[in-house]
Amino acid sequence: MQLMSLFPEWILTHGSASLVVVPLMLAVLTALNPSAKIAWATVLAVTALCVFTSLGLLLQVISHGPIHYNMGGWQPPLGIGYYVDSLNAPILLLISVVAFLCTIYALPSVAAEVEPKKKGPFYAAFLISFAGLLGMVITADAFNVFVFLEVSSISTYVLVGMGASRDRRALTSSFNYLIMGSIGATFFVIGIGFLYMQTGTLNMMDIARVLQDIGPNDRVVQLAFAFIVIGLGLKLAMFPLHMWLPGAYAYAPSFFTAFLAATATKAALYLLLRFTFTVFDPSWDFVATALMILLAGLGILGMLASSLQAIFQNDLRRVLAYSSVAQVGYMLLGIGMATTLGLTAGYLHMINHAMMKGALFIAAGAFWYRFGITQVSDMRGLGKTMPWTMAGFTTAGIALIGVPGTAGFVSKLTLVRAAAENGWWWAIGVIVVTSILAIIYIGRIIEQAYFHPVPEINGKPVARNEAPYTMLIPLWIMALASVAFGINAEWTTSLAEAAAHVLDAGPNTVIPGAHDVMPVVPTVTGGH
C-alpha cells in the first residue's frame, strides 16, 4: 500500500508501545507546567502524534495482518504483549482522532470551566485517561487490561470532579462514578483471577487455548465469564448498570464530556467483544445464552427505557446521556445476535455513534460557553443567535435519529438487516419505535432553536454570538463525518466487516510464543 511509505520505520516497529508510553510520560511534564497554553499545546501534539501512529498501525494491519509487540523483549505468555488486529486497530484510531478534535475544542472550553491553577493538572489527568483507554484496547494481557482500566478510571473520576467549579453536583457525580466504577473493576478482576486459577496464564489468547482444553462445563470458568461480563457491563453503561453515566456526562467539564461520551463506552464494549468471542468460545451454551438473553435482552430494554427517559429530561446534557445508554443498547443488540451481519452492525454503530455523540456534546458545551445554557427550555432562538453551532448540532442530531444519508441510518439499516436475517422481527419493531422516540427528544431541541423567537433583554433581542472557531472546527468535522460516512459508508463498513470476521474466527489463534506459533504473523520485539 502506497500510504505506508508515508510512515517512518519507528511506527512500524515501536508504534504500539508509543501509543501508551508517550501520553503517560508527557502527562508528568504537563502536570508540572505552569502555563495552561503550553500544557494545551503539549496535549494537542501528543494526540496528533497518536492519530498519526494509530493510522499507521491500522494501515499496517490492513496490509500485512496482525501486529504482535513484546514489551521488554519478553515473549508471551511470560511477558506482556501488545496486539493490534482488525478488531482493535479502528478503535485505537477512533480514540486518538476524538482526543485530538476534543483537544482543539478544549482551548476556550477549559479556560472557561476549570480554575486557572488546576489547568495543568487537568490536562495531565486527561493524558492519563487517554493513555489508559489506549492501553485497555491494545494490550493482550488480561491483568494489564485491569491495570489500564483503573488508570483510565481513576483519572476520569478526577476530571469529572473538576467540573465542580461550574456545578457543585460534579462532586457527587464523580463520587457515584467512583463507587460504581470500583464495583465494576472489582467484578472484572475477580473474573480474571478465576481465569488465572484455572489456566495458569494471563495472556488472553493463551487463556483461550487452555480454555479449549478445559471445555465449557467447568463451573469456575462459567463464574469467571459472569464476573467479567458484569464488570464490563458496568463500565460500558449497559442497562440497568448505567446509573453513573447521566451525572458524569451532565456535570463534567464540557471538553471531557465530549471525549468521554465518544470513547469510554466504546473501549469497554471492545473488551466485551474480545473476551466473549476470542477468549471464551461463543459456541459454548452458557456464552451463547448470555449473548442472546443477557446482551440482546438488556440491549432492547436499554433502547426503550433510556429513550423514554431522554424524552422527559430538561437538562440538555442528561438528554444526550440517556440517549447514549439507548445507543449502547443498539450495539448490544447487534452483538447479541452473534452473526457476522449482527456483529458488523453493532461494531459499525459503535464507530458512527462516537462521531455523532461527540459532535452533540461539543455543541452543548458551546451553548453553555456563550450563553450559559444547559436546559432545553432555554434554547429558544439558538438557530438565529448561534446559527453555525446549532446547524452542527442539528446535523449530528438527525444522524443520531437515523435519517437516510447519514451514518446513523447506515448502521441502523445494517442492524435491521441482521435482525431480519435472524428472524427477530420484534427487534426490528423496537428499532423503529426507538428511532421515533429519538425524533421526539432530538426534535424538541431543534424545535426550540428554530421555531421560537429569540429571547429579549431590556426589550431587545439577544444579539448573534457564535462559538469560536476552535469549537466550530471540531464540531463540524464530526458532524460532516456523520454525513460523509452515511453517503459513502464503504470504508467504515469494511472496517466493521473485518472486525466481525475476527470475532467469527473465535478463539482459534494464539500469540506466537504462547505454545503454538503462527509464522505468517509479524512479531515486533521491544527494547530491553
Is 161's pLDDT higher than 90? no
State whether residue 67 is helix, strand or coil.
Answer: strand
From the list 163, 157, 159, the residue with the least C-alpha distance to 112 is 163
Q: Percent of the chain, pLDDT > 70? A: 94
Is 1's pLDDT higher than 70? no
Q: Cα(166)–Cα(516) distance, rounded to whole angstroms?
A: 55
Between 456 and 267, the higher pLDDT residue:
267
Mean pLDDT of all residues in 212-227 = 88
513 — pLDDT class (breaks 50, 70, 90): very low
User: What ranges make up the beta strands (E) of 308-390?
Assistant: none
- Could you tell me where the DSSP H helices lie in 218-282? 219-235, 245-251, 254-274
Of the candidate ranges 57-61, 170-174, 330-334, the one whose mean pLDDT is the lowest: 170-174
Mean pLDDT of all residues in 11-30 = 86
456 — pLDDT class (breaks 50, 70, 90): low
Q: State phi, psi for 69 to the nearest 5 degrees.
A: -125, 120
For position 518, what pLDDT does the model report?
Answer: 33
Q: Which amino acid is at 445?
A: I
68 strand-pairing partners: 83, 523
Mean pLDDT of all residues in 267-287 = 89
Q: Cα(67)–Cα(70) distance, rounded to whole angstroms?
A: 10
Summary mean pLDDT of the chain: 86
Is 19's pLDDT higher than 50? yes
Is 514's pLDDT higher than 50? no
Mean pLDDT of all residues in 491-497 = 91
- The DSSP line for 52-113 is HHHHHHHHHHHHH--EEEEGGGPPTTTS-EEEE-TTTHHHHHHHHHHHHHHHHHHHHHHHHH
Predicted TM-score (pTM) of the model is: 0.91
For position 23, what pLDDT does the model report?
Answer: 92
For position 522, what pLDDT does the model report?
Answer: 43
Q: Cα(146)–Cα(44) distance, rounded to whole angstroms?
A: 27
Is 211's pLDDT higher than 60? yes
Is 3's pLDDT higher than 50? yes
Q: Most confidently modeled of 160-164, 320-324, 450-454, 518-522?
A: 320-324
- The DSSP line for 142-205 is HHHHHHHHHHHHHHHHHHHHGGGGT-THHHHHHHHHHHHHHHHHHHHHHHHHHHHHHHS--BHH
For position 383, what pLDDT does the model report?
Answer: 85
State whether residue 460 is helix, strand or coil.
Answer: strand
Is 526's pLDDT higher than 60? no
348 — pLDDT class (breaks 50, 70, 90): very high
458 — pLDDT class (breaks 50, 70, 90): low
Q: Beta strands 523-525 and 67-70: pairing type?
A: parallel
Sign (positive or negative) of CA dihedral 281, 287, 291, 295: negative
Give the tens place of pLDDT for each residue, 29-57: 888 877 888 888 999 999 999 999 999 89
**Planar angle of CA 237, 166, 312, nearest 5 degrees:** 50
How would you write 129-153 as a 3-class SS string?
HHHHHHHHHHECEHHHHHHHHHHHH
From the list 330, 355, 364, the residue with the least C-alpha distance to 442 is 364
Q: Which helix H or strand E contains 279, and what residues bound it?
A: none
Is 140's pLDDT higher than 50? yes
Is 436's pLDDT higher than 70? yes
Question: Which residues are CB-contacts of 424 (< 8 A; sequence separation ≥ 6)?
Answer: 337
Mean pLDDT of all residues in 415-435 = 91
Q: Cα(367)–Cα(466) distance, rounded to whole angstroms?
A: 9
For position 459, what pLDDT does the model report?
Answer: 63
- The DSSP line for 387-399 is HHHHHHHHHHHHH
Q: What count of residues does the chain have?
A: 528
What is the grid cell recorded at 212? 479449549
Give the CA-trace dihedral at 47, 48, 54, 56, to 10 degrees.
-160
Mean pLDDT of all residues in 440-457 = 85
